[in-house]
Amino acid sequence: MGKKRIIQKTKEELLKERERIEEATKKEIKIQPPQAVKEGKIYISSSYNNTIMTLTDPQGNTLTWTSAGNIGFKGTKKGTPFAASKVAEVMAQRAQKLGINKVELFVKGIGSGRESAVRSLVNRGLDVISIEDITPIPHNGCRPPKVRRV
């Protein structure tokens, strides 16, 4: 086996890469000015592994979204209540930038970040109209396995 060569980037390449990453993170939230949206819906999807929040207008068109992984949490830390509260803070800031102050909350999933996300949204100054749980529940379950013959 030969020696392994390590490719080192120059300072110019590192600066270009950093600028590219910063441009990707500074995406502007686009909304049409004629629509004066004052109300919205926030969908909170909380699983064991992540918390995802989506802000929509009353018709259901997505305005913006964020998640624990999007903020910078990695691995098992994405599913914690602390990460969910940070996601809710970012979502509240984005909603206020868009001019939305009244929201309906729709919570889905069984993760540990459900309640902390709702509390954090309320504490950040959003006027919560209603909270609804839309977690899918099986009515009769799946078919049981065949009886085992020994």
Query: Cα(118)–Cα(106) distance, rounded to whole angstroms?
Result: 10
Structure confidence by residue, pLDDT tens digits, 69-125 = 999 999 999 999 999 999 999 999 999 999 999 999 999 999 999 999 999 999 999
Structure confidence by residue, pLDDT tens digits, 59-74 = 999 999 999 999 999 9
Residue 91 is part of which domain span? 36-133
In a domain, 7, yes or no: no
92's torsion region: left (phi>0), alpha (psi -120 to 50) or beta? Answer: alpha
In a domain, 115, yes or no: yes
Please report the pLDDT score of residue 18 as a whole number.
Answer: 73
Query: Cα(52)–Cα(54) distance, rounded to whole angstroms?
Result: 7
Higher per-residue pLDDT: 4 or 107: 107
In a domain, 48, yes or no: yes
Q: In the sheet that 62-67 helps form, which strands lie side by side, from edge to edge?
A: 62-67, 51-56, 39-46, 102-108, 127-133
In a domain, 145, yes or no: no
Query: Cα(104)–Cα(140) distance, rounded to whole angstroms?
Result: 30
CB-CB contact of 116 with 83 (8 Å): no
* Confidence category of residue 150, pLDDT binned at 50, 70, 90: confident
Q: What is the mean pLDDT of residues 48-67?
A: 95
Query: Cα(87)–Cα(111) distance, rounded to whole angstroms?
Result: 14
In a domain, 128, yes or no: yes
Number of domains in the chain: 1
Query: Cα(1)–Cα(59) distance, rounded to whole angstroms?
Result: 62
Percentage with pLDDT > 90 across the chain:
67
Average pLDDT over the chain, rounded to an integer = 87
Please report the pLDDT score of residue 97 as a whole number.
Answer: 92
Q: What is the CATH number of the domain that holds 56?
A: 3.30.420.80
In a domain, 88, yes or no: yes
In a domain, 80, yes or no: yes
pLDDT at 34 over 50: no
In a domain, 150, yes or no: no
Please report the pLDDT score of residue 147 as a whole number.
Answer: 94
H or E segment to which residue 56 belongs: strand 51-56
